[in-house]
Amino acid sequence: MPLHSIFLLLVWLGLNNTLAPGHIVLGGILAFLIPLVVAGLHTPQPRVQRYGLACRYVLMVMYDIVVANIEVAIRILGPMKNLKPGFVAVPIETHNELMLTILASTISLTPGTVSAEVTKDRKWLYVHVLHMEDEEALIQQIKERYERKLREVFGC
Amino acid sequence: MSFLVELLVSILIVAGAGFALIGSIGLVRLPDFYTRLHAPTKATTLGMGCLLVASIALISLAEAELSVHELLITLFLFITAPVTAHMLAKTALHYDIGFVRGTRGKELASKARERVSPKENDE
C-alpha cells in the first residue's frame, strides 16, 4: 500500500507537471485515500524481488523494441513476397497472472510478434510472427531472453 | 535556443514521424489482418517514443523547466498498446479470419480458438 500511495502521488504531480505545495498536499490526500477505497479490489500478486534486475529487464526490452522496429520497418518497405508470417505455440512455465501479463505484453510490444491467445491451462502462449525464419530459435528467444529473466525478477 | 538542441529535436521529430509513416505504409501493404497488426505497434512504440523524447528535450532544454508529462504518456501507451493488439488478435482468431497464404502454423489457429494445448489430438 505505501508503494501505491507513492506511485499515485508521483503520477498526480507528473500529470499536473508541477511541484507546487498545494498540489503536493492535494496529491498526498488522494494518494492516501484512493488505495484505501480500492483495497477491496486488490488481489494478491507476487512482489518484485530484485529491483536491479527489473530495471535491466525494462532497459533490455526498450533496446529490443528499437532493434525490432528497424527490422520490421525494413520488412514493411521490402517486397511482400519475401515475407514469411507464422503462427507458433510457445510453451511457458509462468502460470501467475501478473507475470503472464507482463510476458505477453513484452511480446506484443516488441514489433514483429503479437501474443494472440493463451491456453486455459496457461501452459502455451499462441504468438503471431510477422517474419519467421526459424521457429525453434524464436521460441528459444522468448523463453531465454524474456521468460527466464522475468522469473528471476519475481524470484521464482 | 542553441543550434544543437534544435538539431537534436529536429532529428527526433523526423525519425518519429518517419516511423509513424512506415507504420501506416505497413497497414496498406501488408497482406492480411494478422500481419497488419504488427504495423501500428511500431508506430506507437518507436514513433511515439521519438516524438515524446523530442518534446521532453525541447521543453526541458529550451524553457529550462523539467517536463514529465511525456514520461506518463509513454507509461500509459506501453500499458495499453499491447492489450489492444492482444484483444484484436484474439478477436480475429475467434472470428476465424483467414491467414495469408504461406503462413506457417496456420493449423494451430483452431487449437488457439479452443484455448487448448497444440499437442492435444482430440478432434
Examine residue B122 and state whether it is found in any structural domain, yes or no: no
Query: Does B113 touch chain A if contact means CB atoms closer than 8 Å?
Result: yes
**Mean pLDDT (chain B, rounded):** 81
Q: Which domain holds residue B65?
A: 3-114
Domains and CATH numbers, chain A: 2-41 (no CATH), 51-153 (3.30.70)
Q: Chain A interface, mutation test: which of B12, B19, B35, B37, most A Cβ atoms within 10 Å?
A: B35
Confidence of residue B10 (pLDDT cuts 50, 70, 90): very high
Confidence of residue B14 (pLDDT cuts 50, 70, 90): very high
Examine residue B11 and state whether it is found in any structural domain, yes or no: yes
Query: Does B39 touch chain A if contact means CB atoms closer than 8 Å?
Result: yes
Beta pairing partners, A125: A90, A118
pLDDT of B101 over the 70 cut? yes
Q: How far apart are the first and last CA of chain A?
A: 23
Angle at A146 between CA B69 and CA A126, to 5 degrees: 100
- Determine the pLDDT at residue B120: 62
Query: Does B102 touch chain A if contact means CB atoms closer than 8 Å?
Result: yes
Q: Report chain A residues whose CB lies below 8 A from the CB of B81.
A: 108-109
Dist CA B37 CA B57 (whole Å)? 31
Chain center to CA of A2: 23
pLDDT of B34 over the 80 cut? yes
- Determine the pLDDT at residue A21: 87
- Determine the pLDDT at residue B121: 56
Examine residue B40 and state whether it is found in any structural domain, yes or no: yes
Dist CA A100 CA A122 (whole Å)? 9
Dist CA A111 CA A103 (whole Å)? 14
Dist CA A55 CA A30 (whole Å)? 28
Backbone phi, psi, residue B43, to 5°: -60, -40
pLDDT of B123 over the 50 cut? no
> What ipTM did this prediction achieve?
0.78
pLDDT in tens, B49-97: 888 888 888 888 777 777 777 888 888 888 888 888 888 888 888 887 7
Backbone phi, psi, residue A102, to 5°: -65, -40
State the angle between helix axes of A51-77 and B3-29 in degrees (0 to 180), rounded to the nearest 10: 60
Q: In angstroms, what separates the C-alpha of A66 from chain B's closest C-alpha?
A: 7
Assess contact for B34 and B92: CB atoms under 8 A: yes
- Average pLDDT for B26-39: 84
Assess contact for A122 and A100: CB atoms under 8 A: yes
Which of B11, B15, B13, B38 shows the shortest CA–CA distance to B25?
B38
Assess contact for A94 and A151: CB atoms under 8 A: yes
Q: How far apart are the first and last CA of chain B?
A: 68
Digitized pLDDT (tens) for each residue of chain A, 156 residues in all: 678 888 888 888 888 877 888 888 998 898 889 888 888 887 777 777 788 888 998 899 888 888 888 888 888 888 877 788 888 888 888 778 888 888 888 888 887 888 888 888 888 888 888 888 788 888 888 888 888 888 888 877
Domain count, chain B: 1
- Determine the pLDDT at residue A1: 64
Which of A117, A87, A14, A96 shows the shortest CA–CA distance to B106?
A87
Strand runs labelled E in A2-156: 86-91, 113-118, 124-129
Examine residue B123 and state whether it is found in any structural domain, yes or no: no
The answer for residues whose C-beta is within 8 angstroms of residue B101's C-beta and 6 or more apart is: none
The CB density around residue B69, as the number of other CB atoms within 10 Å, is 15
